[in-house]
Structures are given as structure tokens and as C-alpha cells.
Amino acid sequence: MTEAHAFYLVKIAESRWADKLLDGEIFMRPLSDFADIEKRPTASDNSFRGDIREGIVQSFADVRPGTPFFHDVFGSDADAIAGAGFISLQETLVYSMYCLEYSASRGRFVSPSIELQQFGDTAIIVTDPRQFIHRVFEGLYHRTKNEYWAGAKRVTYDVELSLTATYDGFSKLPRYAWQKEFRFAVDLNEGKIDPESWESMTDFARLMFINQGGKVATDANRKPLNLNIGSIRDICASVSTAELLELRLPASLASSPPMVIPALMPPRRPSVRPLKPLVQLKASSSSNSGEA
């Protein structure tokens, strides 16, 4: 059985953004932003943040061309597909942090990946993760007036299009495992879609969405959420990213040992969501996505 490591929550960012976090500013972005980053050539220096499979909810190991549903979705391309899935949840707002793990069996912290330096030059270590999570959820409660869903847990790196599986919005490709992400997720638009997204959908996707009771609403959007939870300097320590990578950590951390944080996943009300097909072709290992 894999050891369940205790951990600190860490946010790695450029110093100017790190200071804003210490003052309590939490900037949540829609999952669609991270899917777009990897596809934009002009953002190649930022592509380590992107994953076109962000928000995947289902994968199918067997896509038979003769099946009417897959024929309607993928058309004549169905016979060239090795694996497929559906992306949704892209309206979900997320805030991501790194889990600095402590191995009790080895008596030391697990060395972080050097790739983390791509995120910025400063690492904010949250020494009391439970208090931090409490403040984030309390801030959401006071910030939003309408119904919403919110959850927080570690991301798993188990997305595989060659298997039939379902995912919960906290799953990514194995190649991103070095990120050891802890994700806050908030959905303010359950069952609704913004007009701009509606315009970008194909007729088939619109038909599926409307037939299931989906609604187009002007108050639905994928805009980022700027949440202020008040200063968190009382539960944080700041080091350079270089110091984090070398595990040169403040002595003050000794008084606040890392802890295992259980998943916070309240039941999610079933709701209608637009789906975007994602396919893996037999002819190559590349993946392509396109809306149904």
C-alpha cells in the first residue's frame, strides 16, 4: 500500500503575486483557461500549466463505428479512434497549490521536482492547511449570493483514454504527476451556460444540452473569481523557490508539522453540462479534441 504522506500546502508564484496571496487574495480561474493554454502557440512558455484534458469526466476504451451515438459524435473518424472521452466542468473555477510531502517512514520531506521553478521565484508555505481551507470556504460563503458547489482535494494522475473510466474533475494525465496538485474547485453555474460558450458549440452539442434541460443564462460566465480571505501571514512562511527545491525550510515549521488533509467533496447535485469530445487516434499517439 502506498504511504499516505502528510504535507504542507505551497503556492509557487512570482514575488508580486506571492505578496498578494499573503494579503489574502485568491485568484480562481476557469478550467477552460488551462485547457486553452496548451493549445496556444503564443503561450508556449506557459504550456506547463496547460492540459487539453482538463475537466475530463469520462473515457471510453471501445469506440465502435457502428454505434449510433459515437457515429453521431465522431462521424467518419470513429473507425480511426483508439480511445475517446468527454470533457466537461470547464466552467468550474479552480485554485491550485503544491503538496510538499513529508515521508514519515523516511523521516524527511520528499524532494520537489525542479520543474516547479517554472511557476515562479517565490514559495508560500501554508503551515496550517486546515485553517487555510476553512478561510477559503468561509470567504466563498460570504462572496457568493447564489447557490454553488465547492470542493477541495488532491489531484490524481490517472487519466487514460484507453480505459473506460469516470473522473470527478480532479484528474489529470500521469505526465503531470510532478505537480502534486491540491485543487480548490468552485462551480457557480450548475446547469447553465454563458451565451459566448453557447455560440461556440456545434448543433449536436446544443441539442444534447437543451434536451437534458440545460439553460443559456446571461448571468452564467467563466470569468475568474477574485476572492479575498484576509491576511494569511499568521499561517504562512515564505521562501524562495530555489530554497524549496533544496528543502532549505524555515526552522519555524517545526512547530507546525505537516498533516494529511482529507478530501472535501460534498455531494454534487446532478446537473446538465455541455460535453466536448476528446479522441486519441490509432494512427498516432497524438490527441485531438473538438466539440460535439
Q: What is the pLDDT of residues 253-276, one digit of tens each?
A: 877 889 999 899 988 765 555 566
Cell reading at 166: 469516470
Per-residue burial over 153-182, b = 16 or more CB atoms within 10 Å of its CB, e = otherwise: bbbebebebeeebebebbbbbeebeebbbb
CA pair distance 157, 173, nearest whole angstrom:
5
| pTM attached to this predicted model | 0.79
- List, in sequence order, every residue forming a beta bridge with 171; answer none if it has no partner: 156
Question: Please, which residues have CB within 8 angstroms of residue 71's CB and are 6 or more apart in sequence?
Answer: 65, 78
Asked whether residue 91 is assigned to any structural domain, the reply reads: yes
- List, in sequence order, every residue forming a beta bridge with 197; answer none if it has no partner: none
> For 194-198, 227-231, 233-237, 263-267, which range has the lowest pLDDT when averaged over its residues?
194-198
* pLDDT for position 160: 85
CA pair distance 164, 58, nearest whole angstrom:
7
Q: What are phi and psi of 246, to 5 degrees?
A: -90, 0
Please state, for a pLDDT cut of 70, what percent of the chain lies above it: 63
Asked whether residue 55 is assigned to any structural domain, the reply reads: yes
Asked whether residue 1 is assigned to any structural domain, the reply reads: no
User: Cβ(122)–Cβ(241) under 8 Å?
Assistant: yes
Domain count, the chain: 1
Asked whether residue 122 is assigned to any structural domain, the reply reads: yes
User: Cβ(73)–Cβ(204) under 8 Å?
Assistant: yes
Q: Which structural domain, as residue segments, surrounds residue 175? A: 6-289
Asked whether residue 50 is assigned to any structural domain, the reply reads: yes
Asked whether residue 80 is assigned to any structural domain, the reply reads: yes
